[in-house]
Amino acid sequence: MQFAVLLPQFGPFARGADVGERLRAVATAADRLGYDVLWTAEHVIYPPAITTPYPYGARFPFAVDDPFLDVATTLAWVASCTGRVRLGSAVVVLPYHHPITLAKAVATLDVLSRGRVLLGVAGGWLREEFALLGIPFRERGARTDEAIALVRALWSEERVTFHGRWHDLADAAFFPKPIQRPGPPIWIGGGSPAALRRAGRLGDGWIAVPRPDVSALAADVATIRRHAEAAGRDPRTIGVAASGPADSVTALLDLVPALEHAGVTIVTVPALFWARSHAHALELMEEVAARAGLAART
């Protein structure tokens, strides 16, 4: 079992001029303690008030004036002060990005970090954000699928020919290629039926959304595996990242056997959501690492 932790890249912990030092502290602690993945998340711009129903809880957990630092820039910052831990997004909202420029940013990060990128993507849910960015909300699923295919072609093909609904390339040159070949793993986020299908058909892994219990999580994993089998894929190759319904270190660690049985391969430790302060979040990271024996695995 691998363990991941969230970076203080969004919400109240991202406020203030010293956020770079808080990011560095969490990243270097994770690298030292034996964590496997650092997660970032993405929103780009908010309306004055969010009216789209939040799909993962009663309400959106952040204020619209809370900072949300850019994913690629944040991961480049922490890549420079770490040497082992993987650099992940949970998630990038793929329709918000031109896939060619995103592929370039991620390939560059993979080269500079010596092959440590894990790209998590999703189709998005915030209708008002799509409107502010000028992207049709109803096209988000189809745009996500096409972008995944194009990004993978750009990373893996010497000369890229691609004919899609929104993008058309003929014998295009795209360099550098990522260190990881044929490219960084692409994990799929989201809990809708479309997201679970996409994870099974296209994903190297699934980034789980909050579920009320482990049995609900296991049912989602089983659904993904059925879609993988229907697509002719080996479902055992698809990773799963989840934290489970836990509100403390003890509760999370007690859930690890059940999470593993459900198919989880990366346990995400939501220390920032449990913590009273940034210093407390670091203490919680230390506690998990010590009790789970993370340093002994590195």
Measure the CA–CA gap between 195 and 122, rounded to whole angstroms: 8
Residue 159's φ and ψ, nearest 5 degrees, are -125, 130
Bridge partners for 92 per DSSP: 121
Decide: 175 and 156 in contact? Cβ < 8 Å. Answer: no
pLDDT for position 296: 75
Q: Which of 10, 61, 3, 25 is nearest to 278 (CA)?
A: 25
Q: How many domains is the chain partitioned into structurally?
A: 1
Q: Report whether 192 contacts 141 (CB < 8 A).
A: no
Which pTM was predicted? 0.97
> Phi-psi category of 34—alpha, beta or left, where left has phi over 0 and alpha has psi -120 to 50?
left
Q: What is the domain-level CATH number for residue 202?
A: 3.20.20.30
Q: Would you state the pLDDT for residue 298? A: 64
Residues of the chain with pLDDT under 50: none
User: What are 160-196's pLDDT values in tens digits?
Assistant: 999 999 999 999 999 999 999 999 999 999 999 999 9
Q: Domain containing 89: what range?
A: 2-297
pLDDT, tens only, 83-93: 999 999 999 99
Question: Do β-strands 168-172 and 160-163 pair in parallel, antiparallel, or remain unpaired?
Answer: antiparallel
